[in-house]
Amino acid sequence: MVESALFREGMSWLGSAVNIITTDGTAGRHGFTASAVCSVTDTPPTLLVCMNRTVSSHEAFLQNKALCVNVLGGDHQPLANGFASRRLSMDDRFGLAEWTRLKTQAPALVGATVNFDCIIDKVTSVGTHDVLFCTVQAVSLADNREGLIWLGRSYHNLQDPAAFGRQF
């Protein structure tokens, strides 16, 4: 069996997009910073979000049954830190940015690189985390396509792919 510390060190070198995961509904408005998000399939459009069960918002996400994956750009580092902080209240976290609503009514970050508005369809527990399988209900793409990744335990900005000649 691999030691947890060695596994975590290895995973720190697997670059990941930085996201703020949000929800709202009968259990209230909540959010947290996450990098464990990925595509599952495009038929139907589905993604997964891994969430530690010790996160204070865990039950709210399960009760609200909806979430928005807000993919962050390079200028969102302070926001990522704010939503990762246990010292800030949810109201203070959401006060750091401007939000809108898409189909599920989960908060969608204005100016995010992309927003994936989702319904939580299935939850699977693995170790300390729940894997939330989410069907995408709406997608909003920004004009600014810069990215923010987490690699080597620090943030790194990615330039707009159009700067390399790629057009969407």
Answer yes or no: is 7 within a domain: no
Tens-place pLDDT, residues 79-101: 999 999 999 999 999 999 999 99
Q: What value, to the nearest 5°, has the Cα angle with vertex 79 and ends 157 and 39?
A: 65
Answer yes or no: is 156 within a domain: yes
Answer yes or no: is 37 within a domain: yes
Its domain, for residue 21, covers: 16-164
pLDDT given for residue 160 in this prediction: 63
Burial category of 132 from C-beta neighbours within 10 Å (exposed 0-12, middle 13-18, buried 19 and up): buried
Please report, for the domain that includes residue 56, its CATH number: 2.30.110.10
Tens-place pLDDT, residues 115-129: 999 999 999 999 999
Answer yes or no: is 102 within a domain: yes
Answer yes or no: is 105 within a domain: yes
Answer yes or no: is 11 within a domain: no
User: Is 167's pLDDT higher than 60?
Assistant: no
Position 162 confidence tier, pLDDT thresholds 50, 70, 90: low
The number of distinct structural domains making up the chain is 1
Tens-place pLDDT, residues 25-75: 999 999 999 999 999 999 999 999 999 999 999 999 999 999 999 999 999
